[in-house]
């Protein structure tokens, strides 16, 4: 479709913008990544890319929206770990890590579409520690990169929705961006709220 690829390119460009912004925030201390969220995400982005490549029927720009976050998340996670910039690992984070580890066990035993859908549900659960930390005042995040990422996934959802409408995609493809909208969007909301409450 003529409209689909430009929308996916725009989504990819927004994601390429969000990740460096977040990286710079970690370096200057204005964002402190939650260890459970980022450790889980660093594993899930690899699983997501491995399965979404087939779910998206090997289409370049759809797959790029899995590859770009994978490279960015792993880079951020490694940097944050090496330089000791993670927030403390509290009981909430430990519970989330245990739950996610238990669910990942089922991942190799299902087909690529179901495996990718399971990965997206785990993505949603991975955002919980960051959201809850911000909600309770324990977390420190700036809203901008989360808002940009939410916009990227929204545009990706629209693009795949158009592709599906014209019969060129199935609904399995849309689960990935749809799940990432609330995962990123809720972090954006609570980061904005936390910023307003502190002023």
For the stretch 79-128, pLDDT in tens is 999 999 999 877 777 777 776 666 666 666 666 667 777 777 788 888 98
Are the beta carbons of 41 and 123 closer than 8 angstroms? yes
Q: What is the maximal distance between C-alpha atoms in the chain?
A: 50
Q: Which residues pair with 140 in a beta bridge?
A: 32
- Angle of the 112-135 helix axis to the 35-55 helix axis, nearest 10: 150
Output the six-digit token pair for 82: 């090496």
Q: What is the pLDDT of residue 108?
A: 65
> Each residue of 121-158: pLDDT tens digit?
788 888 989 999 999 988 999 999 999 999 999 999 99
pLDDT at 191 (0 to 100):
95
Contact 49, 176 (CB under 8 A): no
Show the DSSP H helices in 29-171 as ranges: 35-55, 60-82, 91-104, 112-135, 144-165
Cα 66 to Cα 49: distance, rounded to the nearest angstrom:
5
Distances (CA, A) of 174 to 24, 90, 102, 142, 154: 30, 33, 25, 27, 10
Instruction: Provide mean pLDDT across the span 64-78.
Output: 95
Which pLDDT score, from 0 to 100, does residue 72 have?
A: 95
Q: Is 168 exposed, middle or buried (0-12, 13-18, 19+ CB in 10 A)?
A: middle
CA–CA distance, 84 with 15 (Å, rounded to integer): 25
What would the two tokens of residue 180 be?
């990432």
The pLDDT score that the predictor gives to residue 40 is 87
What integer pLDDT is reported at residue 98 of this predicted model?
Answer: 72
Contacts of 133 (CB under 8 A, 6+ apart): 34, 87, 92, 139
Q: What are the sequence ranges of the domains in the chain?
A: 4-197
Is residue 44's pLDDT more than 90?
no
Residue 192 has pLDDT above 80, yes or no: yes
pLDDT score at 103: 62
What pLDDT does residue 117 have?
Answer: 75
Tokens of 178: 């749809």
118 vs 40, which has greater pLDDT? Answer: 40
Mean pLDDT over 146-171 rounds to: 94
pLDDT greater than 60 at residue 30: yes
**Per residue in 8-28, pLDDT tens?**
999 999 999 999 999 999 999
Average of per-residue pLDDT values in the chain = 88
């Amino acid at each position: 479709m003529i409209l689909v690829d430009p929308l996916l390119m725009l989504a990819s460009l927004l994601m390429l913008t969000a990740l460096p912004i977040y990286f710079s925030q970690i370096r200057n201390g204005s964002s402190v990544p939650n260890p459970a969220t980022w450790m889980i995400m660093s594993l899930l982005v690899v699983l997501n890319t491995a399965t979404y490549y087939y779910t998206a029927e090997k289409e370049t720009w759809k797959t790029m929206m899995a590859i770009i976050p994978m490279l960015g998340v792993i880079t951020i996670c490694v940097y944050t770990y090496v330089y000791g910039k993670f927030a403390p690992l509290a009981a909430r984070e430990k519970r989330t890590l245990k739950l996610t580890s238990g669910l990942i066990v089922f991942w190799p035993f299902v087909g690529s579409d179901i495996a990718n859908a399971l990965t997206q549900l785990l993505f949603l659960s991975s955002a919980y520690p960051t959201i809850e930390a911000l909600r309770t005042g324990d977390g420190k995040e700036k809203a901008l990169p989360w808002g940009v990422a939410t916009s990227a996934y929204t545009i990706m959802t629209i693009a795949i929705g158009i592709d599906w409408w014209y019969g060129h995609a199935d609904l399995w493809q849309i689960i990935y961006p749809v799940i990432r909208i609330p995962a990123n969007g809720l972090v954006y909301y609570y980061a904005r709220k936390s910023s307003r409450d502190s002023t």
